[in-house]
């Protein structure tokens, strides 16, 4: 059982909703990435998404776009991201780490090389926004063969056929994008999320995380009624943007703790 599967199994046994948090590797500075990862865990995150900086992050709204731009000014690339994961693993061997990004950096080093490096670093899976399931059966198989999970996005516009493809090739958990648009683009219609998640569960037996637009404890709690996990990214980046670097770790820990408390209330 993968670290992601084990985590969700433990959450289910405790009747808890998972908290999946996102930061961009290298933002707001490379020296803060690993301390921020630890702070997220200390605040109550169950799974970490570590964004791979990319120059054209098509699924991201302006907040995460800015995070990518800041990280790229430090020349943070995929090998640096693997290095952050290795450093994190020196003291944390239990919290799943999912690399989130786009196809170009993976294609540049080669999918098999990516899988080897990710496994050696201690990553647990990947979300590749522009790898559609119908075009990456071999990649998904190689990921699974190396005990890595390939996690796919599902959207309000996803067809039944696409949901079935995600059920066939995905592992770890499925990520339902609650909004039609980019990250951080608006507010969530929780009734519509409930309807769509119920329809997805008819085909997908994996845990379902819901993200894009969860900004506070109240929304997180509402989404938790229908999801196995809530995913928060843009709001955490905004927290980083609102404080000096020396207060970043504390701010992220405190924000995450607030969300965790709301989920456990």
Q: Which residue has the tokens 């607030």?
A: 258
Please give the DSSP secondary-structure letter assigned to residue 20. Answer: E
d(CA 105, CA 77): 8
Q: Which is the catalytic residue, given 31, 60, 69, 134? A: 60
Query: In whole angstroms, what is the distance from residue 125 CA to residue 147 CA?
Result: 8
Question: E strands of 113-246, at which residues?
Answer: 125-128, 149-151, 153-154, 174-177, 208-211, 229-232
Q: First vs last Cα of the chain: how many Å apart?
A: 29
Residue 119 sits at φ, ψ, to 5 deg, of -65, -45
Active site residue 60: yes
Question: Given CA atoms 215, 218, 219, 225 in this order, what sign does their dihedral have?
Answer: positive
* 26-37 residues labelled b (16+ CB within 10 A) or e (exposed): bbbebebbbebb
Catalytic residue among 31, 49, 69, 192: 49
Please give the positions annotated as active site: 49, 60
């Amino acid at each position: 059982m993968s670290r992601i599967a084990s985590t969700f199994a433990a959450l289910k046994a405790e009747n808890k909703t998972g908290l999946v948090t996102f930061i961009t590797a290298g933002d707001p500075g490379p020296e803060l990435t690993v301390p921020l990862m630890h702070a997220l865990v200390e605040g109550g995150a169950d799974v970490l998404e570590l964004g791979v900086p990319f120059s054209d992050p098509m699924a991201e709204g302006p907040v995460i776009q800015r995070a990518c731009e800041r990280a790229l000014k430090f020349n943070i690339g995929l090998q640096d991201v693997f290095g952050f994961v290795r450093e994190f693993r020196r003291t944390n061997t239990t919290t799943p780490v999912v690399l989130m990004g786009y196809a170009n950096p993976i294609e540049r080093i080669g999918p098999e090389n990516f899988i080897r490096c990710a496994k050696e670093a201690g990553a647990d899976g990947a979300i590749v926004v522009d790898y559609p399931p119908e075009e990456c059966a071999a990649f998904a198989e190689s990921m699974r063969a190396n005990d890595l999970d390939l996690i796919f996005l599902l959207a309000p516009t996803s067809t039944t056929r696409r949901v079935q493809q995600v059920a066939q090739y995905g592992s770890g958990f499925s990520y339902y994008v609650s909004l039609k648009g980019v990250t951080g683009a608006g507010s969530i219609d929780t009734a519509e999320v409930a309807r769509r998640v119920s329809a997805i569960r008819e085909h997908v037996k994996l845990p379902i995380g819901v993200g894009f637009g969860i900004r506070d404890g109240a929304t997180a709690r509402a989404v938790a009624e229908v999801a196995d996990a809530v995913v928060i990214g843009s709001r955490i980046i905004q927290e980083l943007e609102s404080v000096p670097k020396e207060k970043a770790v504390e701010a992220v820990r405190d924000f995450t703790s607030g969300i965790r408390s709301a989920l456990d209330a």
